[in-house]
Structure 1
Amino acid sequence: MSAFTFVASVSILLVASVIIFPSNGVTEDILAAICSQTQNQETCEAMLESDPRTSSADLPLLSLISLELLSKQADKNHNSFVQFRDNSTDPDLKRSLGDCVTDYNDMRGKIKVAHQLSQKRQYRRILELGQLIKLAYNCENGLPSNSPTSGITETMLLTSQTAVYVNQFLITYFSQKPLNLV
């Protein structure tokens, strides 16, 4: 086989594979559609794009990425609340911070379940992500207004919203496609 024939054959196969198996890569338009639902579109997009896999991800991988980012943020916040609680000398504040530690433990469990369901591509069963927003608010609302935790709570809320809307997008997207991914 000549070099020209080989190159032509490979080119035809590549074109045919794109036609037969179109890419489900996440476009900027998809990210914008997802992130426009959150309180801060730019932060949402930046958060998702902070993972190098996003640029070549398909929608199922984007779900996992959003949940992994959420898990990292929940772990970070949990550790911060444990440190605040352990360093507090005010019994009332210590109790409130302990409630936050409990809330974040609950969040971490919900995220783990969501991640397992996403791995199985059972997006319709990922129902508890919205509860994370409520738990983060419960934690923050139980603390004094001068608490230094508002920044990490805001980041948790935005990360939670991002994961919620990524997974809601997948449910809508795959319910319109005749795929066995849901």
Structure 2
Amino acid sequence: MRGRAIRPVDRAGGGEEAVRLTRCAGTWLADPPDAAEQARIAAAVRAVSEQRTLALELHRDQAALDAYCIELFRDPIFDPLHIGPAVIRRIIDKLGEPPVDDEANTTAFSEYLQRAVLLFALPNPRRLLAAQLRRYLPRFTEVGDWKAAVAIDYSAFRTSLGNEVTPFLAQMTLAGLADYYDELPEA
């Protein structure tokens, strides 16, 4: 039989792959969503789709939307989605220690971060991370925080279908690196 091999992967988020990729172990994100949570996510996605006017307004200034997304994903509520230490160790093994920007090279760290994201952000991890991010949607739609909900949905979409370094992936990787170095024993 020809065609791609179909591997069972939990596309709704949670599970072993989520625990391996992120820091969600021991949190509500470690377990796949049950039927009730999936229904809440579906309702939130429908509610966000009704916010077309706001979405169009936000998309008019792509740079401002990306900056808002980065700021949004700095909120501690997203800490379980920081890239996990196993992935960070692989990045460091492959790319070396992150460089420190200096006057001679002010873009060294951003280039490192971009390479780091593209190292692990293959299609399946992207889809899983996007599914994990979408699990946050009900928290924002239920309180009427439409700007954040639209930004989360937009970020999940870009993360799952693209091959770019999205603000979500960049912020989760940056935070994962910070967490990793914070946990290293003092020398």
TM-score (norm 2): 0.32
- Larger proportion of helix: 1
Largest Rg, 1 or 2: 1
Q: Which has the higher contact order (CA 8 A, sep 6+)?
A: 2
